[in-house]
């Protein structure tokens, strides 16, 4: 099992981008790999909700939303903290406009739309506890939804490097981490929140791994 810290993962992505694998393509690869894993684990899925943050973890979720809509699933996207703020996440959000995807603001909701699967695309490796009020509410809605939960990279509310679990963190049935596992995936305190852990290839070349800081 290959383990990298959040900083090392950022370095890998920077190197891959410099070598021609754009951040936008890495996001596409991550979302596509995650959707493939979700579909393999839940082959009879009819409906899916993506709970998206405003960063690139949310962008990965928007890729899943697009692919699910193209597969004629009932798709809802819940924006937990408003509109996306990173360039690549915004680009993938804009691609949903021409598709039958329902967009909701978490602040206007009491619970998530009913669905077979909920995707936790809220916080990624940049998370630092504690959960903000909006994040805590999003995690509460996911945990009480009754749906099967798939987390992207890590369950929201867990620190990638220390494995520290914030109060109210998501409890996932499946965690799809990208390129490499992170320290939380082997930490006995955080493993129970991850469910099954799958590491998905997002196309980063092997030569980018030399002498990580």
Element (H, E) at 17: helix 6-18
Is residue 120 a part of any domain in this protein? yes
What pLDDT score does 211 carry? 82
Is residue 209 a part of any domain in this protein? no
What pLDDT score does 128 carry? 87
Q: Choose among 21, 14, 28, 15: nearest CA to 60.
A: 28
Is residue 213 a part of any domain in this protein? no
β-bridge partners, 148: 117
Query: Residues 139-159, buried b or exposed e (16+ Cβ, 10 A)?
Result: bebbbebebbbbbbbbbbbbb
Is residue 210 a part of any domain in this protein? no
Task: Provide the domain limits for residue 15.
Answer: 6-204
**CATH number, residue 127:** 3.40.50.10260
Euclidean distance between CA atoms 15 and 27, whole angstroms:
15
- Return averaged pLDDT per consecutive 10 residues of the chain, 213 residues in all: 94 96 98 98 97 98 98 98 97 98 97 98 92 96 98 98 97 98 98 98 93 76
Query: In this structure, what are the phi and psi dihedrals at residue 37, rounded to the nearest 5 degrees?
Result: -65, -45
Euclidean distance between CA atoms 137 and 190, whole angstroms:
20
Query: In this structure, what are the phi and psi dihedrals at residue 204, rounded to the nearest 5 degrees?
Result: -70, 125
- Say what the pTM is: 0.97
Query: pLDDT for 166-205, tens place per residue?
Result: 999 999 999 999 999 999 999 999 999 999 999 999 999 9
- Could you tell me the CA-to-CA distances from 118 to 11, 148, 174 in Å, in that order? 30, 6, 11
What pLDDT score does 129 carry? 82
* Count of structural domains, the chain: 1
Is residue 1 a part of any domain in this protein? no
Number of CB atoms found within 10 A of residue 161's CB: 16
Euclidean distance between CA atoms 153 and 93, whole angstroms:
19
What pLDDT score does 1 carry? 80
Alpha helices by DSSP H, 54-181 = 56-70, 87-94, 133-143
Is residue 89 a part of any domain in this protein? yes
């Amino acid at each position: 099992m290959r383990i990298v810290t959040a900083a090392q993962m950022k370095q890998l992505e920077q190197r891959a981008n410099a070598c021609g694998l754009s951040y936008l393509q890495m996001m596409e690869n991550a979302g596509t790999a995650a959707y493939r894993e979700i579909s393999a684990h839940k082959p009879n899925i009819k409906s899916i909700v993506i709970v998206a943050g405003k960063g690139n973890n949310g962008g990965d979720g928007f890729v899943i939303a697009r692919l699910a809509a193209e597969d004629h699933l009932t798709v809802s996207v819940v924006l937990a903290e408003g509109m996306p703020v990173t360039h690549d996440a915004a680009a993938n959000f804009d691609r949903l406009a021409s598709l039958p995807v329902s967009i909701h603001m978490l602040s206007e909701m009491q619970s998530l739309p009913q669905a077979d699967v909920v995707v936790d695309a809220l916080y990624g490796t940049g998370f630092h506890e504690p959960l903000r009020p909006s994040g805590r509410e999003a995690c509460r809605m996911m945990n009480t939804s009754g749906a099967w939960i798939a987390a992207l990279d890590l369950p929201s509310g867990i620190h990638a490097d220390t494995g520290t679990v914030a109060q109210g963190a998501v409890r996932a049935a499946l965690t799809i981490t990208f390129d490499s596992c992170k320290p939380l995936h082997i930490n006995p305190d955080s493993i129970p929140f991850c469910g099954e852990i799958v590491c998905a290839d997002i196309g980063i070349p092997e030569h980018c791994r030399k002498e990580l800081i």
